[in-house]
Every structure is written in C-alpha cells, then in structure tokens.
Structure 1
Amino acid sequence: MTKPHIAIIISSTREARFADKPAAWLLENAQKRDDMTFELVDLRDFDLPFFNEKASNAWMPSEDPKAVAWQKKIAEFDGYLFVTAEYNHSITGALKNALDQAYNEWNRKPMGAMGYGGVGAARGIEHLRGIAVELQMVPLRNAVHLGGGEFMKVSPLGKNGPMSEVDEILQPSLKSTLDELAWWANATKAARNA
C-alpha cells in the first residue's frame, strides 16, 4: 500500500492573511516524515462560488465546474490538515464554503488542524471537528494551536518574528497530531481499499 497522501489546506483567502507563515512551517515539518506525503492546497487557487447547487453531491452530481474541480482535487487525498484562523469563535467562511462544496470526497478520511490566533483557534477547530463528523471524516483529538504570547511573537500584529521562535513549543503537539494522523490515514485507507 502506498503512503497516505495528505492535503495541508490553507483556509483563509484574505489578502492580509497570516496563514502562509504557519502553513509553510507545517509543510516543512510534515515533509520531514517518511510515513506520509504532503501537498499544500490553497483555497485562493480555486475561486469557489458560494454553494449554490441543487443539493449536496451526496445526493446528486454538482453542476458548477469550479465545485467539480474542487471535488476532484480533494478526492486525491487520504487525509487533511486544515490551517485555520478563528473568526468569531468559528472557522473562516471560505473554509465552511469549501467544506460544503463536497461530501463524498471527505468521507472516511482523517482530519486534523493547525489553528492560530488569540486562543490558537481552539474554538474554531472544535467547530471544524463537528462539521467533519457530519462529512463522515475522522476528526483527530490532537491539534496544533499557535496562540497567546507565542502567536504575538510571529504575527504582524506583534513582533512578526520567524516561526523558528515558536518551533520548540509547537513541536510536541505537531508530533502528536502527525502520529495520530498517520495511524488514522493508514487505517481508513486500508478500510476504503478493502
């Protein structure tokens, strides 16, 4: 069986987003592992319209070519890591829309997250887990939270330092998240293939 292929999905599309810095850190560190492969997927690259289908693709094929292209892209993966901010105690609107644009493609695959902001996007990630359950994903217990003083060390709202300034504090949660992701990605991939 081939190694699980994991998407690292950048979920903010704002011009002034901070997401690129933690996403690059996450990809660089994830690629040090030899048990999974990783690919950065940026929601900006898909220009998804607001969900406007007759129904979810759980019930009928989507008609919008942009939605279909998105579905084909996410179908390539065996699991997902979402890099997300927290907007008003939830995930970004762009990410919610992207999640709604597909259904079958998410099923029976694990998802984890790296959140950033005042509380490390803890509330947004918790909301994301609930959405993932409805999409029949396997939400991971572990996550990477870049929050509080550590967030201010690397954010443009604070000192805007390099991610190396917070690397040591994030490594334990990253290891736990990736270890858990590898286990579930292999288990669900084997089950899907059977």
Structure 2
Amino acid sequence: MSESPYRLAVIVGSVRDGRFGPVVANWFCRQAGQRADLVVDLVDLAHVPAALGGAPGTVTPTAASGAASGAAYSAAEVPFAERIAAADAVVVVTPEYNHSYPGPLKAAIDSVGAQWHAKPVGFVSYGGISGGLRAVEPLRVVFAELHTVTIRETVSFTGAHACFDAAGEPVDAGPVNRAATAMLDQLGWWAEALRTARTARPYGG
C-alpha cells in the first residue's frame, strides 16, 4: 500500500427492492481493493435515511463497508456528510431509471454541500441497451454544480443481469476489468492532485 493512499467512497445509488446495484458495486470494490493507492468505503444508500425521506444525512455502514481494503469504520452510525468529507474521491454506481438516475441518489447528493468541492467523481453504470449511460450524463451536470471534477472514463454494463454469473463475477471479465483500471488510474491522478491542492490552499467554491 502507498504511504498515503487516497480514500475512495463507492456509493450504491439504487435502493429498490430486488436491486442489482450491490452485485455491481461489490465487483467494483473488489477491483479497487486490489490497488495499493486507495482504501475503499462502500456507502449503500439503502442504509442512508436521507435518501429515503427520513432523518437527514445518517448512514449505518454495512458489513461490506471498507471490507475490500480494511478501511476502519465502526458499527456505529456515521453521518453521510462526514463520509463524503473524508473521501478524496467518489465513484457512483447507478442504474438507469426512465432515462435518468434514481431519485434517492439525487436526494443523497443534495443532502451534502461543500464536502463535495474539489473532488473527482467517477461512474459505474448498468441498465438495458444503454448500459446506464443515460443516467451518467445528467449526473455529470449535477456534479459540475457541486464543484467536482467528473472522470471521463466510465464502466458500464449493458443488459447487466446477463453480464454477471451466480457468484457475482463478470461473465466477460477482461473488458470491464480494463475499463475499471482505466477509470481508477484517472481517478487516482485527480484524487492525489486535488488532495494536494486542497491541503495547500482552501478551495474557494
């Protein structure tokens, strides 16, 4: 592991019953967890009351939180805003619902303000024929308003259920693993650069 790994928050954007998001997110966390330059915090919005119209900004970490990298989070509730504040980079795992992204994801994003500033955001999407990319495009506009830098490279799954086997591994792992590596390489560059910049000079958002 590097001397100063960056902290990556991976947000599971769907909260629907029967959702496929955790399969995709857990695969991505396994990919990220193989790298020495980061630690992973898995943030599942199904456990974020703010995303469901309850008490704002609170999340109960799941057993998988940080499991890929040993990130230290207790079983106590940790405010969602604090987890975003602690992150040096974010990846949003989102499905496409009706040519866009889930409403609870928007609610969670909007529950946080300055904690997003001057941080890179990447996207892993899944869906039908578009692979969820019609959810990613409007998210780029939302995150631009929040003073983030969105990463060009993405990972997407067309016909997502057929893309994974019963063990939650991609049926054709090579292309998506390479896509994940390309995105994480770019994300890491921005995470290190922006962390250094925020340390040297507060961001004036």
Please state which band the TM-score falls in when normalised by the shorter chain.
Answer: 0.7 to 0.9
What residue is the counterpart of 1:174 in the other structure?
A: 180
What residue is the counterpart of 1:110 in the other structure?
A: 120
- Alignment gaps of 5+ in structure 1: 52-63
What residue is the counterpart of 2:94 in the other structure?
A: 84
Q: How many residues are paired up?
A: 177
Q: Is the 8 A contact 2:91 2:121 kept in 1?
A: yes
What residue is the counterpart of 1:7 in the other structure?
A: 9
What residue is the counterpart of 2:135 in the other structure?
A: 124
Q: Does 1:183 align with 2:189?
A: yes
Q: Distance in 1 between matches of 2:141 and 2:194?
A: 19
What is the CA distance between 1:162 and its match in structure 2? Answer: 3.7
> 1:153-168 counterparts in 2 under 5 A?
153-154=162-163, 162-168=168-174
1:66-94 CA distances to partner (integer Å, 9 max, x unpaired)?
A: 33722122111011001100111111111
Q: Which 4+ runs in 1 deviate beyond 6 A? A: none
Q: Distance in 1 between matches of 2:51 and 2:94?
A: 20
Taking only aligned residues, the RMSD between alpha carbons, in angstroms, comes to 2.0
What is the CA distance between 1:44 and its match in structure 2? Answer: 1.4
Aligned partner letter, 1:131: V
> 1:67-78 counterparts in 2 under 5 A?
67=57, 69-78=79-88
Q: Distance in 1 between matches of 2:30 and 2:169?
A: 11
Match of 2:40, SS state, is strand
Q: Does 1:20 align with 2:22?
A: yes
Aligned partner letter, 2:178: P
1:80-134 CA distances to partner (integer Å, 9 max, x unpaired)?
A: 0011001111111111111111110111000001000111111111111111100
What residue is the counterpart of 2:69 in the other structure?
A: none
Compared CA separation, residues 160 and 88, structure 1 to 2 (3 A): farther
Q: Distance in 1 between matches of 2:161 and 2:24?
A: 13
Match of 2:87, SS state, is coil
Q: Is the 8 A contact 2:4 2:37 kept in 1?
A: no
Match of 2:114, SS state, is coil
Q: Is the 8 A contact 1:154 1:162 kept in 2?
A: no
The equivalent position to 1:36 in structure 2, one of 38, 41, 54, is: 38
Compared CA separation, residues 89 and 47, structure 1 to 2 (3 A): same
Match of 1:48, SS state, is helix
1:39-67 CA distances to partner (integer Å, 9 max, x unpaired)?
A: 1111111211678xxxxxxxxxxxx9633
What residue is the counterpart of 1:54 in the other structure?
A: none
What is the CA distance between 1:154 and its match in structure 2? Answer: 3.6
Q: Does 1:139 align with 2:145?
A: no
Aligned partner letter, 2:47: D
Q: Distance in 1 between matches of 2:194 and 2:179?
A: 22
Match of 1:89, SS state, is coil
TM-score (norm 2): 0.80
TM-score (norm 1): 0.84
Aligned partner letter, 1:110: P
Q: Distance in 1 between matches of 2:88 and 2:34?
A: 18
What is the CA distance between 1:169 and its match in structure 2? Answer: 2.2
Q: Is the 8 A contact 2:157 2:163 kept in 1?
A: no
